[in-house]
Chains A and B, each alone.
Chain A
Amino acid sequence: MMLTDFPLFPEQASTVAGDVDNLFIFLCVLTGTVSVLVFITIFFLAIKYRRTPTNELAQDYEPPHLLELAWIVIPSIIFVGIFVWGSWLYFHLARVPNHAIPIYATGKQWMWKFQHATGQREINMLHVPVNRPIEITMASEDVIHSLYFPAFRVKADVLPSRYRKMWFQATKTGRYHIFCAEYCGTLHSGMIGWVEVMEPTEYQKWLAGGAEGSLASQGEQLFQKYACNTCHTNDATGRGPILAGVYGNDVMLSDNTVVKADDNYVRESILNPRAKIVKGFSPIMPIFQGQVSEDDLMKLLAYVRSLGSTKQPINPPESPQSFQSNAGAVTPQTTTQPKGNQP
């Protein structure tokens, strides 16, 4: 291997990469300067005042104690500055932009499975369009993993207990590493893959490739397979709440508390429905913990999301055709529950 073949700085391929690198470089310069100054001072003093026959004994002198105040106050102020900068970045990373393209990821010993809203499934490979925010909803089937895109400077642990979200917006086409960053057993270092960032047109072509219907429509099939639709009907006669328009909105529970119907609410309501009972309904739904795989759960979630929410998590705004075709794939099959039926 040639010495020139190895990089010393990672590729910047997302909107936040530059921001993270700026803070990193700032800290390198700041702490590097301070450290070098400390080292020079130590060496200078340790040599200048080295022990010699004429300097057997230290001088009875103490520097002014105002110095101490200086090196308490000045670092503290600098630290607050770094804290604010770091927190600002963290908030930015935590806030998923509106209209992000939803992708569902499942971590499993030892592979990454990705599902696109249009129904495509990939293992250890992820295709995304450049310059579009991507929102990944993720869960683990077994132990804790961590989905890490070094070129995008983002990482989040993937838990077996609940959904987590991360987002990025790639800025450069190309192939970049996907790593698992949380130790997960034997082939932890083999739980890797590539993210392929494509031009939007290429991405559309890729999406057009074979899929078994959109994720939401696959979820709807499961909705019928598990006989959810016998209780969750689209009218008030059902024994379960109407699901249309629920996602993303507030739900009143039987103890009069109000919760937001987000991904984890939907997840819990399927796996352990008795944890939160919607006001006016009885706790009669069976527990699906251990009955539904993470992949299927994500399809069901995609279906519930498609039944109506405050934001439309479908496709890049630039491609209205695919949005319509996607929605079209859902609507004809939604025989029991027409879209937009608000309770």
Chain B
Amino acid sequence: MSTATPTLLDVRFGQGVRNYLNEDYGFFSWLLTKDHKRIAILYLISVSIMFVLGGFFAMMMRVELLTPEGDLLTSDTYNKFFTLHGVVMIFFFLIPVIPAVIGNFILPIMLGAKDLAFPKLNLLSWYLYMIAALIGLVVIITGGVDTGWTFYTPFSTQYSNTHVFGTTFAGFIAGFSSILTGLNFIVTTHRMRAPGLTWYRLPLMVWALYATSIVILLATPVLAITLVMLMLERTIGVGIFDPALGGDPVLYQHMFWFYSHPAVYIMILPAMGVASEVVAAFTRKKIFGYSFVAYSSLAIAFLGFLVWAHHMFVAGISTYSAMIFAFLSFCVAVPSAIKVFNWTATLYRASVSWQTPMMYILGFIGLFTIGGVTGLFLAALGLDVHVTDTYFVVAHFHYVMVGGTVMAYLAGIHYWWPKITGKMYPEWWARLAALLVFVGFNLTFFPQFVLGYLGMPRRYHAYAPEFQVLNVLSTAGASVLAVGYILPIVYLIWALKFGRPAGPNPWGAVGLEWTTSSPPPKENFHETPVVSWDAYDYPAMMKAMGETQNV
């Protein structure tokens, strides 16, 4: 701790000091950069654009659903909008967002490394993402796609006359972007840790990103295979999923969910990593049960591969296989529960700061808990028969992915914004936005649980009149949520110019990233750090601070 201590109290603000942002200028210094921090910024801009696009589709859907009749959009347009909302938000926002933006920026710094193991591969993965995104945009402009983001056969292979090929091809390319990022993270975590930084001294964010990367590396190739089969089926009719040729459309669902269920963990595991970092920093305490939380990430990564068919309990799988998948689904709930309880226990006798990142994470814990426990409803087989494919499922996975991943992402962006840009965001506005997001989110999605249990199926352009009141509530919530999401975009950009300088460690947090200047220099550290302390070693820091205060 002795080496880190002085910088914790360091008041050098780093203004005018050489850093990764002012090291080079010009368009190509960004487009050809191999610096993981600049690539993170490129990703930040790209995923933010995709988020706005996906949000636009969502908002149009919510406005359409204000009335039971399908009156604002045609059925085909509505179907395209929910498909594009799903495709954009999942493949181009939720999957890359935390690993590619926050992970890219912070992982090498947390490891005390100069960069990721393969900087050029890292840049390539951004270009693959951009190629995929551009194909996606071409698809949208030239007429869209209407299969739902799940591309179920035989609708996608034989019946839809929209751009299924283009969309799945974009998904295929985006998958390789993920694979390269995952590979890069795994090698970096193994090979590039600073001297003294043993596995059990790693921040939990690193454990989470590592577990995520394993899932990405093992699951995404299956998506690639599945999408290739789908494309072949659609273009030359190979018949793998076509009953008339001896194929089985349900096989497609098995293959699709073999990737897409683990993909849920690709989205939520990094969010749990952010939660652990923020809880530690804003309680000034070591996360309770560090090793349980670390291993629970690996357990989730492993079990996440064994539960795919719980999406298919009414799709025509055998009763006994449904039981096995239901049982494993309950198993995967255990490590998630561990994390929630451990974060809660960390608050005990802590020093809890209610700053914006912590507000988001408290919201995250609440919403993720609701998302998690409603998963138990869906894993209970006989009950799933009633609620699957209804708004209950829609509400459940939005609680996990938006209430979980997006809340954690916003927490992480606020937490590391001073490190990324060297500037503080306006705290008052940020707290207001956090509150709006929390209230707006619950107002949007809680009524959907009720709608689902009432029996309103998902992907309905028009609906029965008795569902209207709850739909109006949901749309009202979505409007509040939209304001909550637009605010950070505005004030974070404002803060770039007008924010007060952050200094190296505005939160009084421990962790290697807080020992270097803000923004960090191109090579991250002025000298290679040597680590001799455990993650979240606040007692040592407190001691140091206590001594200083006594002076």
Contacts of B118 in A (CB 8 A): none
The verdict on A157 contacting B315 (CB below 8 Å), with A49-B350, A148-B389 known, is yes
Contact B344 A45 (CB under 8 A): yes
Is A237 part of the contact surface with B, judged by Cβ < 8 Å?
no
Contact between chains at A6 and B319 (CB < 8 Å): no
Take A92-B382, A159-B249 as given contacts and tell me if A45 and B352 are in contact as well, using a CB distance cutoff of 8 Å: yes
**A177, B386: Cβ atoms closer than 8 Å:** no
Majority SS of interface residues in chain B? helix
Smallest CB–CB gap between B69 and chain A, Å?
Answer: 10
Nearest CB of chain A from residue B244's CB, rounded to whole Å: 6
Name the residue of chain B whose CB is nearest to the CB of A39: B366
Which of A184-192, A278-286, A334-342 lies at the interface with chain B?
A184-192
Beta-carbon contact of B455 and A10 below 8 Å: yes
Chain A residues closer than 8 Å to B374, beta-carbon distance: 31
B residues near A188, Cβ cutoff 8 Å: 75, 79, 459-461
Contact A189 B154 (CB under 8 A): no
Looking at the complex, which one of B250, B331, B457, B464 makes contact with A180 (CB distance below 8 Å)? B457
- Tell me how far the C-beta of A38 lies from the nearest C-beta in chain B, rounded to whole angstroms: 6
Please give, as numbers and ranges, the residues of chain A lying within 8 Å of B79 by CB-CB distance: 183, 185-186, 188
Interface string of A79-99 (1 = CB under 8 A from B): 110110111111111100000
Q: How many angstroms from the CA of A46 to the CA of B355 in the assembled complex?
A: 12
Q: A10-B453, A79-B333, A150-B455 are in contact. Are A63 and B323 (CB under 8 A)?
A: no
Find out whether the CB atom of B338 lies under 8 angstroms from the CB atom of A87: no
A320 contacts B by Cβ under 8 Å: no
B376 at the A interface (CB under 8 A): yes
Contact of B326 among A58, A83, A160 (CB under 8 A): A83
Residues of A within 8 A of B470 (CB): 6
Q: Which of A68-76, A127-135, A310-318 contacts B (4 or more CB under 8 A)?
A: A68-76
The answer on a CB contact under 8 Å between B330 and A63 is no
Nearest CB in chain B: distance from A87 CB, A: 5
CB within 8 Å of B: which of A53-78? 55-63, 65, 67-68, 71-72, 75-76
Do A72 and B457 touch across chains, with their CB atoms under 8 A apart? no
Choose from B246, B352, B377 the contact partner of A46 (Cβ within 8 Å): B352
B244: contacting residue among A56, A59, A289, CB under 8 A: A289
Q: Is B322 close to A, CB under 8 A?
A: yes
Q: Interface size on A (CB < 8 Å)?
A: 92
Q: A145: nearest residue on chain B (CB-CB)?
A: B155
> Is the CB–CB distance between B383 and A24 below 8 Å?
yes
A51, A88, A183, A185 pick with most chain B CB within 10 angstroms: A183
Most chain A CB within 10 A, of B70, B250, B455, B460, is at B455
Question: Knowing A90-B322, A184-B155, A185-B159 touch, does A1 contact B468 (C-beta < 8 A)?
Answer: yes
| Bound Cα distance from A41 to B346, whole angstroms | 11
Give the bracket for the number of chain B residues in contact with chain A: 35 or more
Contact with A159, one of B316, B369, B370, B545 (Cβ below 8 angstroms): B316
Indicate whether A57 sits within 8 Å of B546 (C-beta atoms), given known contacts A9-B454, A49-B352, A148-B455: yes
Let me know if A68 and B342 touch, CB within 8 A: yes
Q: How far is B322's CA from A156's CA once the two chains are assembled, in angstroms?
A: 14
Residue in chain A with minimal CB distance to B355: A51
CB-CB contacts of B320-334 with A at 8 A, as 1s and 0s?
001100110011011
Residues B388 and A58 in contact, CB atoms below 8 Å apart:
no
Contact with A along B334-376 (1 / 0, CB 8 A): 1001101110110111111110000000100110011001101
Cβ proximity bits B42-83 to A, threshold 8 Å, 1 near / 0 not:
000000000000000000000000000010000110010000
Contact of B377 among A24, A159, A184 (CB under 8 A): A24
CB distance from B487 to the nearest CB of A (A): 23
CA gap between A150 and B365 in the complex, in Å: 32
Please tell me if the beta carbons of A5 and B380 are within 8 angstroms of each other in the complex. Answer: no
Say yes or no: B468 contacts A6, CB within 8 Å: yes
Cβ of B202 within 8 Å of any chain A Cβ, yes or no, is: no
Of B154, B350, B388, B545, the residue contacting A160 (CB under 8 A) is: B154
- Comparing B15-23, B284-292, B498-506, B521-529, the segment that makes contact with chain A is B284-292
The answer to whether A189 and B460 have CB atoms under 8 Å apart is yes
Which B residues are in CB contact (< 8 Å) with A164?
316
Q: Mark A202-238, 1 if CB is under 8 A from B, else 0.
A: 0000000000000000000000000000000000000
Partner of A58, one of B350, B354, B454: B350
Residues of chain B within 8 A of A46, CB atoms compared: 347, 352, 354, 362
Once A42-B362, A153-B386 are accepted as A-B contacts, the answer to whether A142 and B316 lie under 8 Å apart by CB is no
The residue among A85, A87, A161 with the most chain B CB atoms within 10 A of its own CB is: A161
**Does A181 belong to the interface (CB within 8 Å)?**
yes
Residues of B within 8 A of A24 (CB): 377, 383, 386, 453
Q: Which chain A residues lie closer than 8 Å to B146 at the CB level?
A: 185-186
Distance in angstroms between the alpha carbons of A63 and B250 in the assembled complex: 49
Q: Are A19 and B382 in contact (CB under 8 A)?
A: yes
Expressed in whole angstroms, the minimum distance between the Cβ of B230 and any Cβ of chain A is: 14
B438-470 contact mask (Cβ, 8 Å, vs A): 1 or 0: 000000000000100111011111111111111
- The residue on A at minimum CB distance from B387 is A24
Which residues from B are CB-within-8-Å of A16? Answer: 382
B459: chain A residues at CB < 8 Å are: 183, 188-189
Nearest CB of chain A from residue B152's CB, rounded to whole Å: 6
Closest Cβ of chain A: how far from B255's Cβ, in Å?
15
Q: Which B residues lie within 8 Å of A63 (CB)?
A: 288, 345, 348
Which of A50, A65, A93, A157 lies in contact with B316, CB distance below 8 A?
Answer: A157
A179, B458: Cα distance in complex, Å = 11
Q: Is B298 an interface residue (CB 8 A)?
A: no
* Structural contact, B383 and A185, CB atoms closer than 8 A: no
Chain A residue numbers with a CB within 8 Å of B465 are 1
Question: B151 CB to closest chain A CB, in angstroms?
Answer: 11
> Is B276 an interface residue, CB under 8 A from the partner?
no
Q: Known: A7-B454, A72-B334, A189-B75. Contact between A156 and B314, CB under 8 A?
A: yes
A38 near B340: Cβ-Cβ < 8 Å = yes
Q: How far is the CB of B289 from chain A (nearest CB, A)?
A: 5
Chain A's closest residue to B148 (CB) is A183
Contact A62/B319 with A20-B386, A150-B454 known, Cβ cut-off 8 Å = no
A179 touches B455 (CB 8 A): yes
B437–chain A nearest beta-carbon distance, Å: 17
* C-alpha gap A110/B374 in the complex (Å): 31
Q: Which of A67, A184, A185 counts the most B-chain CB atoms under 10 A from its CB?
A: A185
Among A35, A143, A192, which residue has its beta carbon within 8 angstroms of that of B154? A143
Q: Residue B167 at the A interface, CB < 8 A?
A: no
Q: Is the CB of A65 within 8 A of B289?
A: yes
Bound CA–CA A94/B370 (angstroms): 30
A185–B380 CB distance below 8 A: no
Confirm or deny: A252 has a beta carbon within 8 angstroms of a beta carbon on chain B: no
Q: Which of B76, B152, B349 contacts A144 (CB 8 A)?
A: B152
Q: Mark B119-152, 1 if CB is under 8 A from A, else 0.
A: 0000000000000000000000000001110001
12 CB < 8 A contacts A-B: A6-B468, A42-B365, A45-B347, A58-B285, A59-B350, A62-B286, A67-B341, A79-B331, A82-B380, A90-B382, A159-B243, A181-B390
Closest 5 CB pairs between A and B?
A89-B382, A150-B455, A86-B380, A90-B381, A161-B243
Residues on B close to A: CB < 8 A?
Answer: 70, 75-76, 79, 146-148, 152, 154-155, 158-160, 243-244, 246, 248-250, 283-286, 288-289, 292, 313-316, 319, 322-323, 326-327, 330-331, 333-334, 337-338, 340-342, 344-345, 347-354, 362, 365-366, 369-370, 373-374, 376-377, 379-386, 388-390, 450, 453-455, 457-470, 538-539, 542, 545-546
New contact pairs (13) apart from A27-B383, A65-B289, CB-CB < 8 Å: A1-B469, A23-B383, A45-B344, A49-B349, A50-B351, A51-B351, A68-B342, A72-B334, A83-B379, A143-B155, A155-B389, A180-B457, A183-B155
